[in-house]
Amino acid sequence: MKLLITGAAGQLGTELRRQLAQGGCALGSIPEKLNRATVIATDVGVDGMEALDITDRHEVMAFVRHHQPDVIVSCAAFTNVDGCETNRDAAFKVNALGARNLAMAAEEVGAKLIHVSTDYVFSGAENGGVALDETAQPGPISAYGSTKLLGEEYVKSLCSRYFIVRTAWLYGYAGKNFVKTIRNAAKKFGAVEVVNDQLGNPTNAEDLAYHLLKLCVTREYGIYHCTGEGICSWYDFTCEILRLAGVDAKVTPCTSAEYKAKHPASTNRPAWSALENRMLACTVGNEMRTWQDALKCFFENWKPED
């Protein structure tokens, strides 16, 4: 089996490559069909990887025709939420046109496409305390969410063998993420202020990658939610991060409005984006850990440089 991974140097792409190389992770073994898989790792400007600009349709088509992958895992994205607002063209090219290009190429060679999307496709309107399953109607409130939703629409319309997998609050061993940023800031300054009125599901990249690999050997096509089990606020998440990191710092909760007043250039985030992994549970099985257990495992294995 041959897998093409875009954004392979990022936290999810790195985790996928690790599990494929090691044959599994803390959750279990990867599917047997993937034990001797050929991995084509691509990114932009990363030494040791094949360069692939997903925003260039001709380049993508030529690359995929040449390599003839069985599965394309699309991890490349413009994920800087504030940056998407100030650089909308770049966000559109990567998140929407990049998805279009990969969908067209996958369809031409008969490959399956795993397209990683986000909870930001939802408006954040309170849902009576009920997590959003795959039947919920999107309604993004940011450029990031809007371009990611358009990417989903391109995938659905241009590719017949797709898995659209929405995740949220992702962190992993590679790259930058909230867990590392908040731990380092608290250690440096001794205090952090975090919003307590935005709720969602922290997700360990290890858990997400494991489920993407489970999906890719099936024909259970469709839209999936794949996040850590349990709901918390960014404030709750921060408190648990610092507890597990052993960092003694003051954590002050604030509202989104208070944060916006202090950081007027910041983008509006969904207040309620808790997702339910219903499609996973009804198909290949939902083995996502609670966000607390997955975070504990992360800190047991992560080796910070300082």
Instruction: Supply the residues annotated as catalytic.
Output: 144
Q: What are phi and psi of 196, to 5 degrees?
A: -120, 10
Cα 143 to Cα 85, 192, 198, distances in angstroms: 6, 27, 18
Q: Point out which residues pair with 254 in neighbouring strands.
A: 195
C-beta atoms surrounding 281 within 10 Å:
14
> Is there a contact between 197 and 156 (Cβ–Cβ < 8 Å)?
no
DSSP single-letter state for residue 33: G
> Is there a contact between 163 and 216 (Cβ–Cβ < 8 Å)?
yes
Type of residue numbered 3: L
From CA 16, how far away is CA 138, in angstroms rounded?
Answer: 28
Type of residue numbered 60: V
Distance, C-alpha 236 to centroid of its chain: 20
Nearest to 159 by CA among 171, 167, 148, 151: 151
> Is there a contact between 171 and 79 (Cβ–Cβ < 8 Å)?
no
From CA 84, how far away is CA 94, in angstroms rounded?
Answer: 10
DSSP alpha helices (H): ranges in 69-200? 81-86, 88-91, 98-109, 143-158, 178-189
Element (H, E) at 116: strand 112-118
- SS3 at position 269: coil
Type of residue numbered 102: L
